[in-house]
Amino acid sequence: MKYFLVIFLLSLVLFFSFLGGTSVFPVAEARNAECAREMLQQNNWVVPTFNGELRTDKPVLEYYGMMIAYLVGGVNEASARFFSAVCGVLIVLATFWIAKRHISLKAAWWSALILLSSMHVVAQFRVATPDPYLIFCHTLSLYLFYEGWSSGKWKWYGGMYIFLGLGILAKGPVGLLLPALSAFVFLLATQTFNWRTILALKPWWGILLTLLFSLPWYLAVDMETGGRWTQGFFWEHNFDRFNSGMGSHSGPFVLSFLFIIAGMLPFSVFAVRAFRNAWKSKKAEPILLFAIISVASVAVFYAFSKTKLINYTTPAYPFLAIIIGGCIAKLVDEKQTKKLVKPELYIFALLAVAFPFAAYFLTQNTEPLDSVSWIFWFFLFLPIGALLALFLSRKSLEKGILAMSITFMLATVVFFAGPYQIIDDQSPIRKYEELVRSHENVVAYKNFDDAFAFYVQNPIPVFQTEKELEAYLGNHKDVLVLCRDRNLTYMDSIPNLRRVSIDHDLFSRRSSGVYHNRSKAVESKENLVFESN
């Protein structure tokens, strides 16, 4: 109980602290958060819209989570991310629970710490996107499947079917295909894919449960949109993304494997040793074989996908944590292994030393972050933590690895408490949020940063031709015009339009421009914004 409570408290701190401290991040966070806001404003629990237009990118589960949070906590960044953080906490606790039941308390402790030590894991559950909901449903459906397989009790399978349905409601077919693939391969590997297992699964009841938690909304949105949402979602955002690369998000076959290793740093330095240990122990502890297959299924599935993003492979993280956690639980009990794990500890130390330097060079060479490259000072404690971990490991490997975990958890808290908010302050969104939010007439020309829609909280008309924009400006006063492009010099030729500012977008080649037609009212608001900055 003591270990469980510590993990729970650490999870709360890591997932919830400073949750609303930054603006919604374009593109994904902004569109998802605004879509949920529009649905709530219209009291429409069926059809997703963004900026007043049909949004076919994702199913509705994440929108429901955000809408409920908006009702309780108001429309803000923290509410948009609230249930994502809840999913993170529950996954860590569920991983602790299943590792304790099927390996040991010590393996459960390390598995949970491994998840909490990964900055990417924590960051993934602090964003307003569907991925936290999918990871939660994917992980829980497989944990419940394994529990049903090992106990022979259908109640666990029943829970699995419910989460499969919710997974489909979170992100579509992948919510069913990925866990089904892992379960199927595991049954083949353990030679338990037979009529007895099929009958124990009661697939006829399972299909009904899965459809009950997914199909009603899909039917409703198809009817409400005349099939447009169904066609856009299944064809463009599923089939096309898998079979043809989305934008620049493509890569070699091995990239999905590298994503998993990179995302689970620092403890993925133990991955090779951990997989060897898991393979040797697969008969005595079948859950390790199950975890291997679950990681491999995700990696191989997305290796064949033409679109490759690091967040796609995140459903593998809890299972990799179990593999590594089980290995470390054995390592810390074997005194003779201290010398054997030196390579992993040295790699960890190298990562900790490199982190502040990487932060410096990244910010120094990235506009507009070059003005805040001093934030690397926040992370100078990392090399100190690495040295402490190496020193402690000489006497106690367990204390050394624990110091390694604490060092990176502290780095995550520090990052979200300071540097992340400082970085966010350099974005055009944060600089002009107040001006845009307070202005009554906001339009866009050709394109604009999606996050502005969340702060305007009304549809932003988008004009595609200069003639249309000029006609609108001629009939309206005090118009704020947003624009986004790599080169915005063409905006200077539009009559009676004055530039407020052009600022480089974060982690993008494009810039966002804010303009207005000549007006004393707007100029006074603009001056207030500049004075506050």
Same domain, 87 and 106: yes
pLDDT tens for 79-88 read: 999 999 999 9
**437 domain residue, yes or no:** yes
d(CA 99, CA 315): 17
* Token pair for 153: 């009790």
Last residue of a domain, one of 393, 425, 457: 425
State the total domains in the chain: 3
**20 domain residue, yes or no:** yes
Give the full edge-to-edge strand order of the sheet including 480-485.
462-463, 442-445, 480-485, 511-517, 497-504
**Per the omega criterion (within 30 degrees of 0), is the bond before 442 cis?**
no
* Token pair for 220: 């409703």
Same domain, 171 and 58: yes
Same domain, 354 and 451: no
Same domain, 43 and 173: yes
pTM of the model: 0.92
Same domain, 420 and 433: no
277 burial via Cβ count (<10 Å: 0-12, 13-18, 19+): buried
Q: Phi, psi (5° rounding) for residue 332?
A: -70, -15
Helix H, strand E, coil C: the string for 94-159 is HHHHHHHHHCCHHHHHHHHHHHHHCHHHHHHCCCCCCHHHHHHHHHHHHHHHHHHHHHCCHHHHHH
Contacts of 430 (CB under 8 A, 6+ apart): 22, 23, 424
Q: Give the pLDDT score at 239.
A: 61
Look up the CATH number of the domain holding residue 485. 3.40.190
Last residue of a domain, one of 241, 267, 299: 241
Last residue of a domain, one of 425, 457, 487: 425
**432 domain residue, yes or no:** yes
Same domain, 366 and 346: yes
Specify the long-range contacts of residues 224-229, CB closer than 8 Å, at least 24 apart.
224/46, 224/47, 225/47, 225/54, 228/54, 228/56, 229/47, 229/48, 229/54, 229/56
C-alpha 476 chain-centroid distance: 41
* Token pair for 527: 């001056």
**396 domain residue, yes or no:** yes
Same domain, 362 and 509: no
**254 domain residue, yes or no:** no
Sign, Cα dihedral of 248, 368, 16, 69: negative
Q: Give the pLDDT score at 130.
A: 95
Same domain, 358 and 232: no
**512 domain residue, yes or no:** yes
Same domain, 441 and 421: no
Sign, Cα dihedral of 35, 70, 423, 513: positive
Q: Give the pLDDT score at 179.
A: 97
Q: Give the pLDDT score at 238.
A: 66
522 burial via Cβ count (<10 Å: 0-12, 13-18, 19+): buried
**57 domain residue, yes or no:** yes
**Per the omega criterion (within 30 degrees of 0), is the bond before 368 cis?**
yes
Question: Which domain, by its residues, includes 28?
Answer: 2-241
Taking 70 as the pLDDT cut, the residues of the chain under it are 237-251, 335-339, 518-533
d(CA 95, CA 525): 51
Question: Do 363 and 373 form a contact (C-beta atoms < 8 A)?
Answer: yes
d(CA 258, CA 470): 50
